[in-house]
Structure 1
Amino acid sequence: MLYITNFLLPLLAVLTALFLGAATYLTYQQMKGIKGKLHSSEHNPNYNPFFYGNPVSPDQFIGRKAEVRRIVGRIVNDGQSSAITGTFRSGKTSILDYLATPKERLYGNKADTLIFSYRDANTLSIECDQAQFWGYVLEPLQKRIAEMPDSSLYKAYQASQENHFANLEELIAQIGKLNWQFVLMIDEFDVLLDRPHLNNTDFFGGLRQQASRSRGALVLVMTSNTSLTQLHKKNKTFLKIRFTLF
């Protein structure tokens, strides 16, 4: 029995070592093969770089150069609003994500003066009211001015917040005085029409008025799964604002 034990234990150790070595070698060869396939696909003209499904990250975004250039120009040069319409999974959210990354190559020396607020309308509760809406979309601005407690902009924000954002004129005016631009991006804007406390003349009319009179301090970029014509039939107040359609 002792002889068998003394014989089997070393044998098992050798077999185990051989097995682990073989497994390691196979794993290494498999990884080489995978890397080779990935590397070759990067240079394969038949490789399709486009994603279908979830929005792509800004570093994976390609194409749409003309649309991006035009929207960027409207933001930094004129402070004009834009609308991006299209069917589901057509890349609307990916464009917003890409635009909301303030790269210097996109916005030049104005990159630091832009404050982007991307909001998906689907994340708003059914009972969302105007005060909740503005408190939600203005969070990026609040974070930006948190270390500026003595500034006129900070004080204007505090006053507006205490007034439940009922009057935004002074706040937006202070944004403009700093030569900043607050770019509000609303993904699936048409969903707001299903929010009973927002689908009214007071809200849409106020939003339109603030954007129109801000002289570029407030810029709206929205997406919709329906055309502006269809949105116009549902709400004629808001769409009096000038949008460029993509």
Structure 2
Amino acid sequence: MPNPFFYGGRVNPEQFVGRRAELQRIFAGLEVAHTGQLQSFSVVGPRRIGKSALLFYITNKFAAYLMQPALYRIGYIELQDANCRTLGGMLEIILKQLGVGQLSGKKTPLVEFQDAIIELKARGVFPVVCLDEFEELTAHPDQFKPDLYDSWRYLINQEAITFITASKSPLIDLAQDRGPTSPFFNVFSHLPLGELTDDEARELIARGAECDRPFTSTEQSDALLLADKHPYKLQLVSSLLYQAKADNRVVDWAELRREFVTQLQSVGLEADMGRTLKQVGRPTKEGEPTESVTRRARFRTFSSVFAFALYALAIALMIYSRNAPNEQQWVVIIAAVFVLVGIVLTLISFGVIPINDSERTV
């Protein structure tokens, strides 16, 4: 079985997890297309947060969300593609993705594109264009001039097309950096993309329990502590954990943490050093992971408090025994038991007695 986790690029739609709120909002905006109220979205978020994966998933799985998917043509365009470096090249790629065909060259590329989209509308088809890495357009004003955005705004006004864009900065900011702003940039619903929810992060990690090298519950918890809810970090730590479990090898968490940090730095992301160094279970001399530090700390705190309570009860019983009119031997025995249990709990709270086998030294 291949590694079920992938962090090297855009996630395959079959491996896509989460983004329920964002998908619900986008498809709710597309579902009203038959009323003529087309809604465009601008997905904005930092690098490696999953913008490309979201747009690619929408392109490939829209039929599962829309009531009448046959009415839609949804195309995904990666604007870093060399074929999208010119206006004609980009418009032709869009038309191919929408199943329209190629530019004939009889008119200017922009006029041909506009006519093709209007023709789709006349046939009752709703084209949705997903533009990934929108910065590539505004960064090349010599190729993508205001006429392009004016034409697209015209098509939006004609309720003939809708756009879903992905960028690191809001579209209005990208446009203002290049001079006067076209009205095109004012029609988008802003959709910020951040980390996954708690449930979505756990769902992603839990996939490791169903693979051929199943993750234990402790391994899932420690991986989640290391990566938090960032989708790229979750895919990365899960992939590294899967690789470490190859051939029944024992997981060396110290080595896994080092590789995790190195991989993050190679793509310009930072690791939360508090999580990386403190919260994830350390390896023993055999390299086995321990229970999470947080869980052990809570148990030791409880042991310390309970030991104090037992000492107090033992003292109270001894005072009662001395003041009792008759000798109370059973009281002394109970007090002694309380003291012994309190001593054991005190040793646990100070770490002298290990909580589990993974804390024992050899």
Shift of 1:218: 1.0
The superposition leaves residues 102-150 of structure 1 with CA deviations (integer Å, 9 ceiling, x where unpaired) of: 4432112x21222122111111468x33222211211133xx357xxxx
Give the TM-score normalised by the residue count of structure 1: 0.65
Aligned counterpart for 1:140 among listed residues 91, 97, 100: 97
| 1:129 equivalent in structure 2 | 86
Shift of 1:169: 4.1
In 2, Cα distance between equivalents of 1:240 and 1:145: 25
The more displaced of 166-175 and 78-87 is 166-175
What's the secondary structure of 2:28's corresponding residue?
helix
**1:62 pairs with 2:17:** yes
| 2:54 equivalent in structure 1 | 95
Aligned counterpart for 2:163 among listed residues 220, 223, 233: 220
CA contact (8 A) 1:118 1:185 kept: yes
The letter of the residue matching 2:38 is G
What's the secondary structure of 1:55's corresponding residue?
coil
Aligned pairs for 1:117-196 within 5 A: 117-124=75-82, 128-141=85-98, 144=99, 161-167=105-111, 168-196=113-141
Name the count of aligned residue pairs. 184
Q: How has the CA–CA distance of structure 1 residues 89 and 60 changed in structure 2, closer, same or farther, with 3 Å as cutoff?
A: same
Give the TM-score normalised by the residue count of structure 2: 0.45
CA contact (8 A) 1:113 1:181 kept: yes
| 2:292 equivalent in structure 1 | none
CA contact (8 A) 2:110 2:148 kept: no
Q: Percent identity?
A: 22
What's the secondary structure of 1:182's corresponding residue?
strand
What's the secondary structure of 2:127's corresponding residue?
strand
Shift of 1:204: 1.9
The more displaced of 64-73 and 200-209 is 200-209
Q: How has the CA–CA distance of structure 1 residues 179 and 202 changed in structure 2, closer, same or farther, with 3 Å as cutoff?
A: same
What's the secondary structure of 1:136's corresponding residue?
helix
Q: How has the CA–CA distance of structure 1 residues 103 and 190 changed in structure 2, closer, same or farther, with 3 Å as cutoff?
A: closer
CA contact (8 A) 2:43 2:167 kept: yes
State the superposition RMSD in angstroms: 2.8
In 2, Cα distance between equivalents of 1:165 and 1:112: 27
CA contact (8 A) 2:155 2:161 kept: yes
Shift of 1:80: 1.3
The more displaced of 115-124 and 169-178 is 169-178
Aligned counterpart for 1:80 among listed residues 35, 39, 45: 39
Q: How has the CA–CA distance of structure 1 residues 112 and 52 changed in structure 2, closer, same or farther, with 3 Å as cutoff?
A: same
In 1, Cα distance between equivalents of 2:141 and 2:175: 17
In 2, Cα distance between equivalents of 1:64 and 1:50: 17
The letter of the residue matching 2:78 is D
The more displaced of 163-172 and 132-141 is 163-172
In 2, Cα distance between equivalents of 1:166 and 1:51: 38
Aligned counterpart for 1:241 among listed residues 166, 179, 186: 186
Look at both structures and tell me which one has the larger radius of gyration over its CA atoms. 2
Aligned pairs for 1:195-210 within 5 A: 195-210=140-155
Structure with greater contact order relative to length (CA < 8 Å, sep ≥ 6): 1
The superposition leaves residues 176-226 of structure 1 with CA deviations (integer Å, 9 ceiling, x where unpaired) of: 12221111111010111122433421122222222232x1x3111100011
Unaligned runs of 5+ in 2: 192-362
What's the secondary structure of 2:65's corresponding residue?
helix
In 2, Cα distance between equivalents of 1:201 and 1:60: 38
CA contact (8 A) 1:102 1:114 kept: no
